[in-house]
Structure 1
């Protein structure tokens, strides 16, 4: 009897264990089914987007005009050359040194020129004494002629000598002034405030007349000396704005205004020179840098988009449009680039008011669900508030 009882309990335990085993696995299967249902219903958020990640497409003014290329050059520049033939004694400034108007830059040997100056001074002194003697002799002859003690011919001869002495004195003074100028030219001075851009001589060099000594430029007078193709010059007018970049200044943008258009084209390149003045204080301080830009000959309204919002795949360009909580891959027809803003003209694919991703990634998919981060935070806050309300104890 005891053995039968033990067998019965063992069978009951086995059946109970089988019942538990069949009942427990049903729990995870139900959870998985519920999760799958949520995925099918679209309740699970696949992409959360912040408002700053979305760009609203707008119509803006697009600048069109001819391309201008050239270099930045100073309007005030001086090539200082030797005006006398002499030996270079001193060069007081180096390349890049700032100078003030009147500063001594180069000194030339004035020994031989100083001798010429002294000779001219002596010649003037002698001519002045000769004129004094001629005047006194003429006055004496006038007195004698009044008393009848000399002839009219003698008086006329005295007047001729006096006039000749006057001429000699004038010539001597002119020679003295020329000699003084030659001495002055042995000291080369800065013609205006600026910097030394190119030193050409050193102490001991022989400076012949016309030899270049150094160059001085005014860095505050920089301008864009550009060239425009002759077939586009009809669209260029004085006063039009110009936007350009300068080599060596990265992506920094400079603005200017057309100041002058040359009346003739270059004989070789058939390009027309256009002078552009900077419209603000931001300007390069180095002359000779290459510059390239565009003249705003006309403005037109167009849909524009920054380059960061566009994705290029081979020959195609597209953007990711956000509409109805989904992403849509939109093919774009891209036009010219606005030199002022750097944005590209969108000829086809988008309209004003469309929303696109500002910086799209490489893992996006067409039709992917999108939820704005602000809306998600509001929904989460509302859910938290409702949960707190339901869990609060109800008063009787």
Structure 2
């Protein structure tokens, strides 16, 4: 009996497919191969002058703030409301001026009376001068007349001074703003009596602002006029310049007053501020933007972009930090390109495409 085999030979197509599958399994894949280049933003590592700093608290204040006091005693007729915005020399309070107006009228009447008497004395002295040329009696009368005229001139000057003083007091019944600003406090109200020197209102200029802080004696050697300091306001970083450092400490706190100008943004008086004040001399270090650092499970690294636009993960240690830059130690050289945006999910060896900051999705 003939035995017929039912086993078929593998077809040529099937053999080819099996061979390709085996090649795919055993073939190594290069990192980043077949992947689209990931968009990133880069910056250069640079040699920079950095200094360690300490954070001090500060407050936004107005450079122009005044307590306006009455310059004459009297009953208040009107006082500006809190929050009223006024210009320079605008009236913020008025004191009853009725008595001073009457006094001024009296002073002016005295001046007019003395001036009239002086006119008469001038006329008489002219007449007596003509008579004096004829007899001695007229000469003695002339001397007395000249004496009276000199006394009248002195009395006129005194009367005019009294009138000017009263007019000045009358003008001061209107309390005027010494600078443009806002009424922030009203200590006396209409109808109340204001003594000479009593504070009526407080004014503040909300436009002319700066930061006030108090620093320790150890910071003094490292603060210079017009030096740029980092400010942190409401979680945002800004730069301001040192306007002045008062070289005399507060007797109780032993701290020194520091004033720093504010950037152009509008802030509010009383806003809390943090100021980064140097604690040592600046030194030259290799620095990168803070955004270049990748912190994962206690390790700190950054991604360096090679000439072929592949990235290399480099572990670093950090040193001095100042503003947006921080000192790094590791396999990084000045001029190296480091990823500052888009590096969160990068892998070592991955290819990247470099974009401008504004072009990042």
Q: Same fold (TM over 0.5)?
A: yes
TM-score normalised by the chain length of structure 2: 0.74
Question: Displacement of 1:230 after TM fit?
Answer: 1.9
- Over residues 250-296 of structure 1, what are the superposed CA-to-partner deviations in whole Å (9 max), with x where a residue is unaligned? 4151332x444434333333333344446x7x243533434333468
**For 1:76-155, what aligned pairs fall within 5 Å after superposition?**
76-92=64-80, 94-95=82-83, 97=85, 99-136=86-123, 138=125, 146-148=133-135, 150=137
Q: Which residue of 2 aligns with 1:164?
A: 151
DSSP-derived class of the 1:161 partner? helix
> Structure 1's 63 and 204: CA in aligned 2 closer, same or farther, altered over 3 A?
farther
C-alpha separation in 2, matches of 1:91 and 1:274: 35
User: Are the equivalent residues in 2 in contact too, given 1:74–1:223 (CA < 8 A)?
Assistant: yes
C-alpha separation in 1, matches of 2:22 and 2:328: 46
C-alpha separation in 2, matches of 1:319 and 1:107: 68
- The reply on whether 1:335 has 2:313 as its aligned counterpart is no
- Over residues 109-152 of structure 1, what are the superposed CA-to-partner deviations in whole Å (9 max), with x where a residue is unaligned? 21122122122122222332343444455556555655447387
Of 27, 33, 39, 2:22 maps to 33
C-alpha separation in 2, matches of 1:73 and 1:64: 27
Of 210, 217, 229, 1:243 maps to 229
Question: Displacement of 1:173 after TM fit?
Answer: 0.9
TM-score normalised by the chain length of structure 1: 0.69
> Structure 1's 44 and 92: CA in aligned 2 closer, same or farther, altered over 3 A?
closer
Q: Which residue of 2 aligns with 1:388?
A: none
Unaligned runs of 5+ in 1: 375-396
Larger RCO (CA under 8 A, 6+ residues apart):
2
DSSP-derived class of the 1:234 partner? helix
Q: Which residue of 2 aligns with 1:289?
A: 271
> Structure 1's 369 and 31: CA in aligned 2 closer, same or farther, altered over 3 A?
farther
> Structure 1's 50 and 60: CA in aligned 2 closer, same or farther, altered over 3 A?
farther
Structure with bigger helix share is 1
C-alpha separation in 1, matches of 2:299 and 2:192: 65
C-alpha separation in 2, matches of 1:252 and 1:354: 24
> Structure 1's 334 and 369: CA in aligned 2 closer, same or farther, altered over 3 A?
closer
DSSP-derived class of the 2:137 partner? coil
C-alpha separation in 2, matches of 1:255 and 1:161: 70
The structure with more radius of gyration = 1
**For 1:365-384, what aligned pairs fall within 5 Å after superposition?**
370-372=349-351
- Over residues 75-123 of structure 1, what are the superposed CA-to-partner deviations in whole Å (9 max), with x where a residue is unaligned? 44444322112223233565262x3333333322211221221221222
**For 1:337-376, what aligned pairs fall within 5 Å after superposition?**
337-339=321-323, 342-348=324-330, 350-352=332-334, 353=336, 355=338, 358-361=341-344, 370-372=349-351
C-alpha separation in 2, matches of 1:321 and 1:254: 29
User: Are the equivalent residues in 2 in contact too, given 1:123–1:172 (CA < 8 A)?
Assistant: yes
C-alpha separation in 2, matches of 1:179 and 1:53: 77
> Structure 1's 244 and 209: CA in aligned 2 closer, same or farther, altered over 3 A?
farther
User: Are the equivalent residues in 2 in contact too, given 1:309–1:359 (CA < 8 A)?
Assistant: no
Q: CA RMSD in A?
A: 4.2
Deviates more, 1:315-324 or 1:51-60: 315-324
- Over residues 143-198 of structure 1, what are the superposed CA-to-partner deviations in whole Å (9 max), with x where a residue is unaligned? 56554473876555444433333222221111111111111112233334x32151
User: Are the equivalent residues in 2 in contact too, given 1:78–1:216 (CA < 8 A)?
Assistant: yes
C-alpha separation in 2, matches of 1:49 and 1:24: 33
Q: Which residue of 1 aligns with 2:359?
A: none
In the comparison of the two structures, how many residue pairs are matched?
348
- The reply on whether 1:204 has 2:191 as its aligned counterpart is yes
Q: Which residue of 2 aligns with 1:181?
A: 168
